[in-house]
Structure 1
Amino acid sequence: MTPQEFDAFYAASFSRLTGQLYALTGSWSEAQDVVQEAFIRAWDRRFSFESGHAPEAWIRTTARRLAISRWRRLTRGLQLAGRHHRQEPPAIEPPSEEHLMLVAALRDLPEAQRGALVLHHMCDLSVEQVAAETGASVSAVKSRLARGRAALAARLADRTLTSEKGELRV
């Protein structure tokens, strides 16, 4: 991939990847940071990227792993410092109430289910592609998707009922 092709790839996919990582992390600034870091790492490998080798999947996987590593380092640092709470960054206004409810419901899911749902439904990856990106078997991905959909539906239904009563729990 030439530098010009890489620049075009960056411009075409940065926003989409950031949105996908936002759904995984729940933090817009964290999503931007890890996607940017993944692109920096990809720049050194740009000559080995070919259109058939799914460079966007490489960026997404790298960004997801970076987000997990950052979370683990932060958690370990807080444990070492003796702190048991994490100060959340200031909230960014979501585009809609439904979007906020979806992100909050996704945050409640176990990481494996959340990752499978986001990769399959938001990134439009097949079950086999999700399995390849996460290192899980196809049957494990199918199970995570089924359980994740059921849990997400229950959480969203609960939030919708609560919202109709005028006391949104998000």
Structure 2
Amino acid sequence: MGSGRTEADFEAFYAASSRRLLGHVYAMVGDLAEAEDALQEAYARAWQRWRRVGAYEDPEGWVRTVAYRIAVSAWRRGANRLRAHMRGARPDEVPGVSPDRLVVIAALRAIPAEQRRVIVLHHLVGLTVEEISAETGTPSGTVKSRLARGRRALAGHVSEYADELQEAMTHV
């Protein structure tokens, strides 16, 4: 799809990638509504630049990165509002998401954003350390460090669910 530049190419790209990317962005940001909003804005930006973005080697990576940046910006602007809203709110209910995956997402919400991002990109998206480094603009050593710290942090949050977490991380 790297050479796709027509409206039909964009529609095919969207249909093939939107569900998967929503899962990635949701896992990185920990809030379904924020993930949906950020991803839709990222797709709108991709459509505006589709002649260029459609020619990229990895247009999915471009959309995922833009969606993550949009979500982070939204967090910074509305952190207090979001915290107030989340108090007492029920966890997001996502149709078709397994209980194991919900355990993983709940644990991911509890670790720092930089660690959460590399954990999701490595274990859920399947990117290598070098690919994560390229996508995030972070040195490989930093990516490795964040992966190690993120894994330790996750284990601390889900020690009673360690088996489920390991299973979920290998099958999501």
| Structure 1 counterpart of 2:60, from 39, 56, 65 | 56
SS of 1:86's partner is helix
SS of 2:85's partner is coil
* Higher relative contact order, structure no. (Cα contacts within 8 Å, ≥ 6 residues apart): 2
The code of the aligned residue for 1:111 comes to: A
In the other structure, the counterpart of 1:149 is 151
- The aligned runs of 1:78-93 (5 Å cut-off) are 78=80, 85-88=83-86, 90-93=90-93
In the other structure, the counterpart of 1:3 is 7
Superposed displacement of residue 90, structure 1: 5.0
Superposed displacement of residue 49, structure 1: 2.6
- The aligned runs of 1:126-165 (5 Å cut-off) are 126-159=128-161
Distance in 1 (CA, whole Å) between partners of 2:144 and 2:14 is 31
TM-score, normalized by length of structure 1?
Answer: 0.82
SS of 1:53's partner is coil
In the other structure, the counterpart of 2:168 is none
Moved more, 142-151 or 33-42: 142-151
CA deviations 1:33-76 (Å, max 9, x no partner) are 1111000001111111345521000000000000000000102x
In the other structure, the counterpart of 2:50 is 46
Q: Give the RMSD, CA atoms, in angstroms.
A: 2.1
Distance in 1 (CA, whole Å) between partners of 2:82 and 2:67 is 26
In the other structure, the counterpart of 2:99 is 97
Q: Structure 2: state its 5+ residue gaps.
A: 164-172
CA deviations 1:107-160 (Å, max 9, x no partner) are 111111111000111111111111112221001101111111122123222356
SS of 1:87's partner is helix
Structure number with larger C-alpha Rg: 1
CA contact under 8 A between 2:41 and 2:67: conserved in structure 1? yes
TM-score, normalized by length of structure 2?
Answer: 0.81
CA contact under 8 A between 2:10 and 2:54: conserved in structure 1? no
| Structure 2 counterpart of 1:107, from 94, 106, 109 | 109
| Structure 2 counterpart of 1:26, from 27, 30, 34 | 30
Distance 1:47 1:101, change over 3 A: same
Q: Structure 1: state its 5+ residue gaps.
A: 162-170
